[in-house]
Structure 1
Amino acid sequence: MRTALLTLASVAAISAPLAAQSSPTADDIIARYIKTVGGADKIQAIKTLRRVGKFTGDDGFEAIVIQESTRPNKVREEFSIQGMTGINAYDGVSGWKIDPFGGKKDPESLSEEEMRSIVEASDFDEPLVNYREKGNKVELVGMDQVEGTDVYKLQVTLKSGDTRYYYMDTDSYVPIKMDTKRIIRGTPQETETTFGDYKQVGGWYLPFSMESRRKGSSGSQKITISKIEFNVPIDSTRYSRPKSPAGGGSL
């Protein structure tokens, strides 16, 4: 990755050839990103993903997290601690949850804000891939730096109205940071997420480390992925809202 530590001599030496080069467009950057992470064919060949990892809060709180996804837009997220497992799921049409931490064992519908979040999480390929077909808008707003690394800054306006800024490494073209702006119960909230520890999984280049914090906050939440499996059998009923109470059978 490039750094910002350029001397006056090096700036003078490279400024002319850089000026002669045409700047990439947002579509150019996305195309290079898709190529870097494996290419469209390999990505499309992956039909299911299962991620297993550990959630760590800023106070040292830890939990086991599992996310299961099925193309194009089904997702199930589990959060387990002290023998209890919370579930958020979306079957492509409706969302539901089980919240044992709040003393609730039966499935219930997601709130409007929870629904918006899980619909975004259900996007199997993430917002940049085939963004036009998804109703998203992408604009290159310039260049920036993230901890000394040169990045292209892409503004992504999701179909939901939320705005994300992806900071794409100018060498690898993968996102190393994302800022999210959204309105929650009438109040603007901004979150920044950093991505790292990229590894190949079934030909797909994915981050195994994600750390998020509210903008301006010193505390953070980190997810460290221990395993990602692809094209594993996932019963479609796992995304469907159970018809019986949570304690009455396997979920």
Structure 2
Amino acid sequence: MNLRLIAVFFTGVALISASAETQDQKAPTLDELVAKNIEAKGGADALRALKSLRSNGKLIVNEGQLQLAYAQTKKRPGEVRSEFSLQGMTAVQAYDGKEGWKISPFQGRKDPEKMSADDIKPLMEDAEIDGPLVDWKAKESTIEYLGREDVDGTSAYKIKVMRKNGDVSFVYLDPDHFLEIRILTQRVRHGAQEEVETDVSDYEKIGGVFVPFSVESGRKGDPDKQKIVIEKAEANVPVDDAIF
């Protein structure tokens, strides 16, 4: 073999090895990613100090053709109430940490109805003020770092979260700011596998904590997704437990 070719070959191998070693050195650990996510949100102290969060805005559905007024209240340790209003009617979904109920006037049902264990699964996740990574051990979840994956042109950090109820969420963190940009949740509802993709963006600081003001979600692969646009948010407002 030509000596020059041999030299080029080994130089190339050395460069590839050095590049791989550099990438490995730069790759954060799972604990570091969680810590960076907490810090990016505002820090552990600010998160603990946020006891309730009230948001108002609009819900956009039917590929942008229909807008509803939107209001949501969250309260620790895991309560949430969401309202969707149009033409004098208001749909309600609420969860008090144990049970959920709903009012569905757009389906002709104006009295409160108890929600099934499967139907409250999205509410249980929505009730998390901090997101799925903060206090994951206390929530009895397990987490795993799966490397990086492209999210609409962004090489995001991908973390798998296995919740104690069996639901799985894949959390994608922005590589620069370490905030969630997408959450893909897999769950079984009414005997069928369901995949829900949620894109979050437009973070603003409320009560010392960064929260997303744009949340777009729907079944994975479905172009008709609903979008929530927050116009106003308030931290630590007084909340009566009776609303849940």
TM norm structure 2: 0.87
Find the residue that maps to 1:18 and give its secondary structure. Answer: helix
Q: How does 1:168-183 map to 2 (within 5 A)?
A: 168-183=173-188
Q: Identity of aligned pairs, percent?
A: 42
Label 1:113 to 1:172 Cα distance change in 2 as closer, same or farther (>3 A). same
Return the offset for 1:19: 3.6
Return the offset for 1:117: 2.1
Mapped to 1, the partners of 2:218 and 2:109 lie a distance apart of: 28
Mapped to 2, the partners of 1:119 and 1:188 lie a distance apart of: 18
Number of positions where the alignment pairs a residue of Structure 1 with one of Structure 2: 228
Q: How does 1:1-251 map to 2 (within 5 A)?
A: 15=19, 18-19=22-23, 21=25, 23-59=27-63, 60-239=65-244
Does structure 1 conserve the Cα–Cα contact (< 8 Å) formed by 2:119 and 2:189?
Answer: no
Mapped to 1, the partners of 2:216 and 2:56 lie a distance apart of: 16
Mapped to 2, the partners of 1:149 and 1:31 lie a distance apart of: 21
Query: Alpha carbon RMSD of aligned pairs, Å?
Result: 1.8
Gaps of 5+ in 1: 1-10, 240-251
Mapped to 1, the partners of 2:149 and 2:110 lie a distance apart of: 47
Identify the residue that residue 246 of structure 1 maps to in structure 2: none
Mapped to 2, the partners of 1:123 and 1:208 lie a distance apart of: 15
Label 1:168 to 1:84 Cα distance change in 2 as closer, same or farther (>3 A). same
Label 1:22 to 1:149 Cα distance change in 2 as closer, same or farther (>3 A). closer
Mapped to 1, the partners of 2:195 and 2:124 lie a distance apart of: 19
Return the offset for 1:16: 6.3
Return the offset for 1:223: 0.8
1:138 partner amino acid: I
Shift >3 Å, 4+ stretches: none
Find the residue that maps to 1:191 and give its secondary structure. Answer: strand
Gaps of 5+ in 2: 1-14
Does structure 1 conserve the Cα–Cα contact (< 8 Å) formed by 2:160 and 2:168?
Answer: yes
Label 1:85 to 1:151 Cα distance change in 2 as closer, same or farther (>3 A). same
1:23 partner amino acid: A
Mapped to 1, the partners of 2:129 and 2:96 lie a distance apart of: 13
Return the offset for 1:22: 5.2
Find the residue that maps to 1:72 and give its secondary structure. Answer: coil
Larger Rg: 2
Find the residue that maps to 1:206 and give its secondary structure. Answer: strand
Mapped to 1, the partners of 2:130 and 2:186 lie a distance apart of: 20
Identify the residue that residue 6 of structure 1 maps to in structure 2: none
Mapped to 2, the partners of 1:16 and 1:88 lie a distance apart of: 49
Return the offset for 1:100: 1.5
Find the residue that maps to 1:114 and give its secondary structure. Answer: coil
Question: C-alpha offsets along residues 164-195 of structure 1, whole Å, 9 cap, x if unaligned?
Answer: 11111111110111111111222212121111
Mapped to 2, the partners of 1:133 and 1:209 lie a distance apart of: 28
